[in-house]
């Protein structure tokens, strides 16, 4: 059986906090212990440069995050553990993907759009203070994922759009240069506690300054937990678990049974002070042994440096270098003496053809779309009868796509020549029958 590849990265822009632990490190390490899984964990230090322009902070954060993974139980002999900037094939692939990525798709990335909206709100030019790295962020992330054919990517909800974009780039690349170059990755969100609330109840995030460092010394951990925002209900009054940051944090560390007991305690009017004490004890009991290992690791950065370099060296040899060799060949960065082969040279003979799919919507109308795998090439508007829709499909199959026809529109960022190519592939297949 081919193993499932699970890959995730943490941006090295801060100190690891409980949100990173619950949202990424813990589920990733649990997944890596399942049989039939090959895991890739890396330090996304190129991503850090988008936001952090303080070299010492990037360095310190890289050390802390690497030490955190190791302290939490990562075994570099069992999983691929590396630093993004030690794998030059990642930025190289980023460029290949940049040249097929739709700019319109990148315009719609949440992080970039939020930055533009902030500028507009402040009456600034759209792109004031926005570097091109922020704009390209999803492409670099796609390269991280696609280079290693990751099947599953455990991430927080805020990152799901990035995985969808990686799929989009993979599909485009496959469509242009031959099916089978890239595997389409899927986002995996831990169902129970995908995002952890921070001290103020919003998502725990460095940018909100509401984090609890994963390896804060015991006394500081206690102080931070006692500063979690709660409502003003007195001991004895029933408390809501719904919307309670304290409860959600507890749930993220407790068993189902313990969580039920806490839910009961809320209903019975547990005082906030006592609830915080229980939360503190619960978290500290999980974190304390790891904290001790962490402190020992951080005291020896040269050991971690060696482990990271070694990981990247083996990974490049095994996957990244041969992979880029094949991809360069696929796009035409080739030995000039070699005989030219076409764009789809890599396409196996049995590559699936694009298909027309017909369906009915809740509005009672009849629709169709032309899809290539999961890539929507054409989308129709609603027709009154299936016959009308069928007639339109037949016309498309016979002739070329007419961009002026308003009853069918290209899918997101799909070019007319891509549609024409799909239609002519269908015609060629029909003739060959
Ligand atoms: N963007 C991710 C984050 O901020 C970090 C990241 C970079 C990543 N490359 C990745 C996560 C590839 C998963 C896969 O959380």
Spatial separation of the C-alpha atoms in residues 313 and 317, rounded to whole Å: 6
What is the CA(124)–ligand 1 centre distance, in A?
Answer: 29
Give the chain's residues under pLDDT 50: 345-349
CB of 155 sitting under 6 A from ligand 1: yes
CATH 1.10.240.10 domain span(s) along the chain: 215-298
Query: Encoding tokens for residue 330?
Result: 């696929």
Q: What is the pLDDT of residues 318-349, one digit of tens each?
A: 999 999 999 999 999 999 988 777 655 444 44
Q: How far is the CA of 142 from the centre of ligand 1 (A)?
A: 9
d(CA 67, CA 48): 17
Per-residue pLDDT, 346: 47
Helix orientation angle between 272-298 and 218-226, rounded to the nearest 10 degrees:
150
Could you read off the pLDDT of 146-158 as tens digits, one per residue? Answer: 999 999 998 878 8
Query: Is the distance from the beta carbon of residue 47 to the nearest atom of ligand 1 less than 6 Å?
Result: yes
Distance 20 CA to ligand 1 centre (A): 11
The DSSP 8-state label assigned to residue 213 in this structure reads: B
What's 4-194+301-334's CATH class? Answer: alpha beta
- What pLDDT sits at residue 363? 92
Q: Which part of the chain is CATH 3.30.160.160? A: 355-432
For domain 215-298, give the fold.
Answer: Tyrosyl-Transfer RNA Synthetase (1.10.240)
Give me the pLDDT at residue 425, please. 80
* CB of 11 shorter than 6 A to ligand 1: yes
Ligand 1 atom 13: residue of nearest CA: 8
DSSP string, 305-369: HHHHHHHHHHHIIIIIHHHHHHHHHHHT---TTSPP--TTTT--TTPPPPEEEEEE-TTS-EEEE
**Across the beta sheet with 355-360, what order do the strands follow?**
355-360, 366-372, 375-380, 408-410
pLDDT of residue 128: 96
Q: How far is CA 271 from CA 252, 265, 279, 283, 323, in A?
A: 20, 9, 12, 19, 58
Q: Whose CA is nearest to atom 14 of ligand 1?
A: 8
Regarding the domain delimited by 355-432, which CATH topology (the fold level of the hierarchy) does it fall under?
Answer: Double Stranded RNA Binding Domain (3.30.160)
Report residue 55 as tokens. Answer: 């070299």
CA distance 127 to 150: 33
Portions of the chain given CATH number 3.40.50.620: 4-194+301-334
Closest residue by Cα to atom 4, ligand 1, is 11
């Amino acid at each position: 059986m081919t193993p499932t590849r699970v890959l995730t990265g943490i941006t090295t822009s801060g100190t690891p906090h409980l949100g990173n632990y619950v949202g990424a490190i813990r589920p990733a390490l649990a997944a890596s212990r399942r049989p039939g899984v090959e895991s890739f964990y890396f330090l996304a230090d190129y991503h850090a440069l988008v936001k952090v322009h303080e070299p010492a902070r990037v360095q310190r954060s890289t050390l802390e995050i690497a030490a955190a993974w190791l302290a939490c139980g990562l075994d570099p002999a069992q999983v691929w553990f590396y630093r993004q900037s030690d794998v030059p094939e990642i930025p190289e692939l980023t460029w290949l993907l940049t040249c097929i990525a739709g700019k319109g798709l990148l315009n719609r990335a949440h992080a970039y759009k939020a930055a533009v909206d902030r500028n507009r709100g402040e009456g600034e030019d759209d792109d004031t203070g926005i570097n091109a790295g922020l704009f390209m962020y999803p492409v670099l992330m796609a390269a991280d994922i696609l280079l290693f054919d990751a099947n599953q990517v455990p991430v927080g909800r805020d990152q799901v759009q990035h995985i969808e974009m990686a799929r989009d780039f993979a599909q485009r690349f496959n469509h242009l240069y031959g099916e089978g170059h890239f595997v389409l990755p899927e986002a995996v969100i831990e169902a129970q506690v995908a995002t952890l609330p921070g001290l103020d109840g919003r998502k725990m995030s460095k940018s909100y300054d509401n984090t609890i460092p994963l390896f804060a010394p015991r006394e500081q951990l206690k102080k931070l937990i006692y500063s979690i925002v709660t409502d003003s209900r007195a001991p004895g009054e029933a408390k809501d678990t719904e919307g309670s940051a304290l409860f959600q944090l507890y749930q993220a560390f407790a068993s189902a049974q313990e969580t039920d007991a806490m839910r009961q305690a809320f209903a019975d009017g547990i005082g906030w002070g006592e609830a915080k004490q229980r939360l503190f004890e619960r978290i500290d009991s999980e974190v304390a042994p790891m904290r001790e290992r962490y402190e020992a690791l951080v005291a020896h950065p040269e050991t971690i440096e060696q482990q990271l370099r070694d990981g990247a060296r083996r990974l490049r040899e095994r996957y990244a270098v041969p992979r880029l060799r094949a991809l360069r060949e696929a796009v035409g960065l080739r030995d000039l003496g070699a005989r030219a082969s076409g764009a789809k040279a890599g396409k196996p003979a049995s590559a699936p053809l694009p298909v027309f799919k017909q369906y009915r919507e809740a509005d009672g109308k009849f629709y169709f779309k032309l899809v290539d795998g999961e890539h929507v090439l054409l989308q129709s508007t609603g027709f009154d009868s299936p016959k009308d829709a069928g007639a339109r499909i037949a016309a498309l199959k016979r002739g070329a796509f007419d961009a002026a026809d308003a009853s069918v529109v290209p899918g997101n960022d799909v070019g007319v020549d891509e549609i024409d190519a799909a239609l002519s592939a269908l015609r060629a297949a029909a003739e060959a029958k």
